[in-house]
Amino acid sequence: MPRVKLHRFADNATRPDVIEPGKPEFETLGGRWRADFFHNDHPLTLEMGCGKGEYTVGLAERHPQRNFLGLDIKGERLWSGSTRAAALGLANVGFVRARAEALTAQFDPGELSEIWITFPDPRPRDRDIKRRLTSPRFLNQYQELLAAGAPLHLKTDNDGLFDYTLEMLAARPGTAIEASTRDLYAEQGPGFAEAQAIQTNFEGKYRAVGVPIKYVRFRLS
């Protein structure tokens, strides 16, 4: 393993804003994130598959009266997000090293006030359908963990994943789609402003070569 990666893993082990296996808090914060981690009662937003944390940190910077967590399995990526948050002096952001499949082990029912799914792996192979972050398996978890009527957002460059997501949402009784577009940055109006406000490096590369960004905001019954 490269020395730089080992150094960053060692950093994560000492950083209070990175919660990962091996730390006592990893198994005890479910239901207590606001009280024991953020030490406030502000609404809690989760970004699934946050990567280097660009979006999580961007949201935390824009909304100081909310709490934000980025979840990813890659410790080196979380190190990058933690480093950026520290440079900006943000106290309302943290990172969780865990697999998406284990989401319900990290949070209690109704604990989350919002979920963002930003540029997830589209998992195009049929055998990987259950691993898509908008599959029924994950939608069921989100519905359990979100407060009643709380919003979810998906941003993706992938047409197949976007179509699949709309199909899954249409199959769920009571699901409300509040905003949907196949070209986010061609839209105007307040319904798309929040999704347009933060652009990751990955997103910028796709836009630079003319790939439109797809976006949907919805609420589960």
Residue 196: which domain range?
1-220
pTM, full prediction: 0.96
| Residue 121 a catalytic site member | yes
Query: Taking 70 as the threshold, does the pLDDT of residue 1 lie above it?
Result: no
200 is in an annotated binding site: yes
Q: Determine the average pLDDT of the residues in 70-97.
A: 96
Alpha-carbon distance of 216 to 154, in angstroms, equals 5
User: In the structure encoding, which two tokens stand for residue 219, read together?
Assistant: 């609420």
Q: Determine the average pLDDT of the residues in 145-162.
A: 97
CATH of the domain at 7: 3.40.50.150
pLDDT at 209: 96
Q: Determine the average pLDDT of the residues in 164-186.
A: 97
Q: Determine the average pLDDT of the residues in 106-134.
A: 96
Domain count, the chain: 1
User: In the structure encoding, which two tokens stand for residue 182, read together?
Assistant: 């196949």
Q: pLDDT tier at 97 (50, 70, 90 boundaries)? A: very high
pLDDT digits 0-9 by tens, 192-221: 999 999 999 889 999 999 999 999 999 998
41 is in an annotated binding site: no
From the candidates 36, 121, 128, 183, which is the catalytic residue?
121
Per-residue H/E/C for 142-187:
HHHHECCCCEEEEEECCHHHHHHHHHHHHCCCCCEEEEEECCHHHC
